[in-house]
Structure formats: structure tokens, C-alpha cells
């Protein structure tokens, strides 16, 4: 199964100069927890999540309306292409611990987005061995596993 069969094509995004408050508003209006960040040519350069916005807002002296997205996004970007196999996307999500991947064309321009949720829904209705619910569950467990473990206080 190919990513183009699962991805959302009508994707909201922002630019690197968009402030965090405006990015949060886009997420609120689109009812999503992450949006791609694209440059003036439409090339995807990062992702911003609701968590990124919350942490930045809580840890910086400036307000969310004064902090540009480019100051918060990660330097690492993981993507997939419309023609990629869904199992390859699951592997990226699993190893990189990300719930969503921007889908980009050959020139890096935004074509859509695919989430672990999109894949899980398809695995539930697709009864072939091509996309097993167990593979989706394994990926979800890997994504949501704590990065660090903390010792309990005595």
C-alpha cells in the first residue's frame, strides 16, 4: 500500500517566520496537533507541534506572539513520498519516534501529511498481510515509549 492512498492532501502549514501564536491558531482551526513548516518555495523545512509551542511558551521570556517558528523547530526532518510503501513510513515513525510525516514530492514540496492514526485506521479496515494491525501497534508503542526513565523518589 502506498502513502498516497492514506495521506491527507489538504494540509495547513506555516512559514519559518510565522509566530507561535499564529501557528497554534492554524492548529486550532484545522483541529490538528502539528503542521509542516515550508519556505517561500513551498519546500518543507520542518514540523511544529502543539507540544513544541507549549514548551517554548513556558521556557522563554518572550510571548508566543513574539517567537518565530524557526526558533523552535528541530533541525532534523523526516519525510516520505506519495509513492513510498506504508511499511517504510512506519519504520521511519518507529525509529525516529514521530507520529506524523510530511509527504513531499521529488523537489521537497509539500504534497500531504500522513499520521500513525491514518495508518491505524487503514490497518483496521485492510485485512491483508500488507499492513498488519500488529505492525501499527508496535510502531505506536515505540513512538510513545518514554525517552528517559526516572528513578522513583525514596
pLDDT digits (tens, 9 = 90+) for 21-63: 999 999 999 999 999 999 999 999 999 999 999 999 999 988 8
Report the alpha-carbon distance of residue 10 to residue 57 in Å, rounded.
Answer: 28
- For the cut 80, the answer to whether the pLDDT of residue 150 exceeds it is no
Query: Confidence class of residue 151 from pLDDT cuts 50, 70 and 90?
Result: low
- pTM above the 0.95 mark? no
Nearest alpha carbon to residue 82 among 99, 98, 101, 105: 105
Give me the chain's average pLDDT, please: 91
How many other C-beta atoms can be found within 10 angstroms of the C-beta atom of residue 117?
Answer: 12
Average confidence (pLDDT) over 14-18:
97
Q: 120-131 as b/e, with b when 16 or more CB fall inside 10 Å?
A: eebbeebeeeeb
Q: Nine-digit cell at 40?
A: 517561500
> Looking at the domain 3-144, which fold is it?
CBS-domain (3.10.580)
Domain boundaries, the chain: 3-144
Q: Are 116 and 86 in contact (CB under 8 A)?
A: no
Q: Are 16 and 39 in contact (CB under 8 A)?
A: yes
Amino acid at each position: 500500500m502506498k502513502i498516497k492512498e492514506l495521506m491527507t492532501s489538504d494540509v495547513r502549514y506555516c512559514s519559518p517566520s510565522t509566530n507561535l501564536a499564529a501557528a497554534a491558531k492554524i492548529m486550532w482551526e484545522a483541529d490538528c496537533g502539528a503542521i509542516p513548516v515550508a519556505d517561500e518555495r513551498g519546500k518543507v523545512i520542518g514540523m511544529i507541534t502543539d507540544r513544541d509551542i507549549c514548551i517554548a511558551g513556558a521556557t522563554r521570556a518572550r510571548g508566543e506572539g513574539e517567537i518565530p517558528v524557526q526558533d523552535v523547530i528541530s533541525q532534523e526532518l523526516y519525510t516520505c513520498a506519495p509513492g513510498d510503501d506504508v511499511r517504510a513510513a512506519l519504520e521511519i515513525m518507529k525509529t525516529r519516534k514521530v507520529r506524523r510525516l510530511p509527504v513531499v514530492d521529488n523537489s521537497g514540496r509539500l504534497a500531504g501529511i500522513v499520521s500513525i492514526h491514518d495508518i491505524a485506521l487503514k490497518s483496521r479496515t485492510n485485512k491483508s498481510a500488507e499492513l498488519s494491525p500488529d505492525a501499527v501497534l508496535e510502531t505506536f508503542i515505540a513512538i510513545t515509549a518514554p525517552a528517559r526513565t526516572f528513578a522513583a523518589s525514596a
